[in-house]
Amino acid sequence: MGKQNYIECERKGLEKLINFRLPHYFYTIGILVAGLSIVLMFVRAFAMEGDTEWLKLILQKTLLVGMLFMSVSRDKDEDEMVVKLRMQSYTYAFVVGVIYALIMPYVEYGVSNAMKPEGEAFHDIGDFQLLLFMLMVQLMCFHALKRMR
Amino acid sequence: MENTIKVERAILNITQDDLAKKIGVSRQTINSIEANRYVPSTVLALKLSEIFRKPVNDFFKLSEND
């Protein structure tokens, strides 16, 4: 393989990695999966009896998968500006997510102990809570930035 | 970065939507470029140059802040 071919091959590989996004129809699939997960979460909480902890854990995961599909699928009118806005929204989500993970345990502990004297013990937030929050921030920021463009 | 894309577009008598379709972006992106809210990539600038049949420097100018 010549030097030029090698460079071209590397460039194509890098472009594939940079431009990775799911097709737009995954956005609709994501909405359906996330929506169905939320509905089933309510059904589990209010209409089901017995030990359904396993279902709760599965629904948490499907909700995250649905939101991830929404997050990484192409926009209907995808162009370089939309790509830039999406990257910016990931930056916001990451920064806000780190701040949330640092502050929220103290807020939860404070609120819990202020409400009742024997409040909850101090504990860090869970991975589901953090990932859900970051995905929500990313999706909201992305849509807000698109409206502002 | 300042630009005169709106003027160039008026010379060609084309709408933002027409220009957007010609260079393969959304109308909102053209609007953002015209309003100096977004600086396009070199690829997009060269596509615009092809449409306007002018060098990029003719319709993109560096401002004092750049």
Are A68 and A87 members of one domain?
no
Among the three residues A39, A74, A109, which one is the final residue of a domain in this structure?
A: A74
Are A88 and A142 members of one domain?
yes
pLDDT at residue A1 in the model:
64
Is residue A22 classed as helix, strand or coil in its secondary structure?
Answer: strand
Smallest Cα distance from B13 to chain A, Å: 24
In whole angstroms, what separates CA A92 from the centre of its chain? Answer: 12
Range of the domain at A59: 1-74
Residue-averaged pLDDT of chain A? 92
Are A120 and A86 members of one domain?
yes
Contact assignment for B29 to A84 by CB distance below 8 Å: no
pLDDT at residue B66 in the model:
79
Mutate which of A77, A81, A148 to disrupt the B interface (most B C-beta within 10 Å)?
A81
A135, A125, A143: which is closest to A63 by C-alpha? A135
Domain harbouring B27, CATH code: 1.10.260.40
Low-confidence ranges of chain B (pLDDT < 70): none
Q: Name the percent of chain B in helix, strand, coil, to the closest 5.
A: 60, 5, 35
Tell which wins on pLDDT, A10 or A37: A37
Are A107 and A65 members of one domain?
no
Q: Establish if A84 touches chain B: CB-CB under 8 angstroms.
A: yes
Are A62 and A82 members of one domain?
no
Structural domain count, chain B: 1
Whether B9 is covered by a domain: the verdict is: yes
Structural domain count, chain A: 2
Tell which wins on pLDDT, A119 or B56: B56
Contact assignment for A149 to B38 by CB distance below 8 Å: yes
Whether B66 is covered by a domain: the verdict is: no
- Range scoring the smallest mean pLDDT among A65-79, A116-130, B29-43, B52-66: A116-130
Q: Which helix (H) or strand (E) holds A88?
A: helix A80-115
Whether B15 is covered by a domain: the verdict is: yes
Range of the domain at B51: 2-61
Give me the mean pLDDT over the A116-136 stretch: 88
Structure confidence at residue A16 as a pLDDT band (50, 70, 90)? confident
Are A85 and A54 members of one domain?
no
ipTM of this predicted complex? 0.87
Token reading at A37: 């997960």
